[in-house]
Amino acid sequence: MTFSNSLLRQLAFINGKWQAANSGATYAINNPATGEHIADVPDMGATETQLAIEAAERALPAWRALAAKTRSQILKRWFDLIMANQEDLAQLMTAEQGKPLAESRGEVAYGASFIEWFAEEGKRAYGDVIPGPTPDRRLIALKQPIGVTVAITPWNFPIAMITRKVAPALAVGCTSVVKPAGVTPLCALALAELGKQAGLPDGVLNIITSAHASVVGEVLTQSPIVRKLSFTGSTPVGKKLMAACADTVKRVSLELGGNAPFIVLEDADLDAAVVGALASKYRNAGQTCVCANRFLVHEKIYDAFAEKLQAAVAKLVVGNGADEGTTIGPLINAAAVDKVERLVNESIAAGAHVAMGGARHALGGSFYQPTVLLNVSNDMPIAQQESFGPVAPLIRIRDADHAVALANDTSAGLAAYLYGRNLQQLWSVAERLEYGMVGINEGIISNEMAPFGGVKESGLGREGSKYGIDEYLETQYLCLGGMSDR
């Protein structure tokens, strides 16, 4: 193993201590660009998961009793340490996940921003004093931390998906157990190291590493100690976890799959739309749940948009994310390439035309060519399923109503994008889109200030923003009587 990094940790983190699996078992973490073996981490199971939950439970009373400002100061130190280590974290992320270094640096800052944001918001978990029904009573709505929380996170954003869940939890006085994706635990462990340096007390943040997600997941979802689960990942797994949480009636937040339409209306600024399309579609090689999944382009500007998009896509550089100049890294693994290949081939068989790419990349491994498909219809597999790959399928639309009908013809409802110039039309189309988030003349919509989340089968709850903190708070009602002698 030749990989080295100041933040490389190869043990899990429970109750403030670095821990091996009870059995001593480990599993390998490999670089998806090179196949290089970069680390081994503990393959933990039910017993260690239970220990992590109990550590979070023990840490809860003291942590929630701290002044919000004290928790905020610790979180601010954590934020500062993450930013001070931005480069090492980015190197670690590119090594385990594959995204280009520039994107990894961006994700470190994006991930850290949730800690900074919620360090502030945690101080503002205001309740209410409510006018009572009679003069002798005072009605008070208190905001209380929900308790022990769990975050199950995906591999596509190894830092930001953790901080977006953990930061609001910790800020309001909850404690947390995190199960990062099996293939990207190293960033999670690095975050824990920096959290420890920042002064997070033992047990407030725990990281379980495991190659047996369903075993860990069962303990996390069945535990009566855990009061809240927040999950980002695939829709089928999200549904399973939601069902599993029913037994103990946990609060659940879900960020699941999308099928984002990218609508280009007749009057759109095509150059701006191409810039937005590139950012939205090809970020992280197409592996985000908010990536444009299908382009709904007005028939009058379809050819012009397609031409401009192809010219821009031709400039993308596929390669190892660690190499200078790479703009598209590998997909996460062989199964991801198989899925993209299948969706593209089935769509070609159904009549789609390959304008660019359309196949695996000559680099081999899990690299796939940036692809543009023309003459696509909304019923083709590439438009019906989330591709999670660098493929832009272009569908012709007749008008805005047609675009809305096609856009809403899916069980998903996470992000949508809309390009045009007529503000009244943009507003009216946006309101008719059954999506939790709509980018209007904008291809990148995520930031810590905005409420991120979906409708329909794309999920429940919102992350980031002033709304994200509510997911970790219970409203407790106090009714104070006996006030009549005033």
Ligand X SMILES: O=C(O)CCCC(=O)O
Ligand Y SMILES: NC(=O)C1=CN([C@@H]2O[C@H](COP(=O)(O)OP(=O)(O)OC[C@H]3O[C@@H](n4cnc5c(N)ncnc54)[C@H](OP(=O)(O)O)[C@@H]3O)[C@@H](O)[C@H]2O)C=CC1
CB 466 within 8 A of CB 121: yes
Note if 434 is an active site residue.
Answer: no
Q: Which of 257, 286, 365, 436 binds ligand Y (CB under 6 A)?
A: 257
Between 290 and 397, CB nearer to ligand X: 290
Tokens 């940790």 locate to: 9
Between 234 and 422, CB nearer to ligand X: 234
CB 334 within 8 A of CB 368: no
The region of 99-107, 147-155, 266-274, 461-469 touching ligand Y under the rule CB under 6 A is 147-155
The region of 15-23, 44-52, 129-137, 236-244 touching ligand Y under the rule CB under 6 A is 236-244
Q: Which member of 107, 116, 255, 448 is catalytic? A: 255
Q: Give the count of beta carbons closer than 10 Å to the beta carbon of residue 129.
A: 11
What mask of x and - would describe binding to ligand Y in positions 150 to 169, judged by CB under 6 A?
--xxxxx-------------
Q: Kindly tell me the burial class for residue 139, based on how many C-beta atoms sit within 10 Å of its own C-beta (0-12, 13-18, 19 or more).
A: middle
Tokens 């100690």 locate to: 225
Residue numbers at the binding site for ligand X (CB under 6 A): 154, 156-157, 160-161, 232, 288-290, 446
- Read off the amino acid at residue 464: G
Reference 4, options 97, 105, 103, 92; nearest CA is: 92
The region of 176-184, 304-312, 428-436, 469-477 touching ligand Y under the rule CB under 6 A is 176-184
**How many separate helices (H) and strands (E) can be counted in the chain?**
14, 20
Q: In angstroms, what is the minimal distance from the CB of 228 to ligand Y?
A: 15
Beta strands (DSSP E) in 379-484 are 391-397, 415-419, 437-440, 459-460, 473-480
Tell whether residue 208 is a contact of ligand Y (CB under 6 A).
no
What strand order describes the sheet that includes 473-480? 128-130, 138-145, 473-480
Between 172 and 328, CB nearer to ligand Y: 328
Q: By Cβ distance, which residue is nearest to ligand X?
A: 446
Q: In angstroms, what is the minimal distance from the CB of 225 to ligand X?
A: 27
Q: Is the dihedral of CA 285, 444, 253, 148 positive or negative?
A: positive
Q: In angstroms, what is the minimal distance from the CB of 173 to ligand Y?
A: 25
Q: In angstroms, what is the minimal distance from the CB of 233 to ligand X?
A: 8
Enzyme catalytic residues: 255
Which residues sit at the interface with ligand Y, rule CB under 6 A?
152-156, 179, 181-182, 213-214, 217, 232-234, 237, 240-241, 255-257, 289, 336, 386, 388
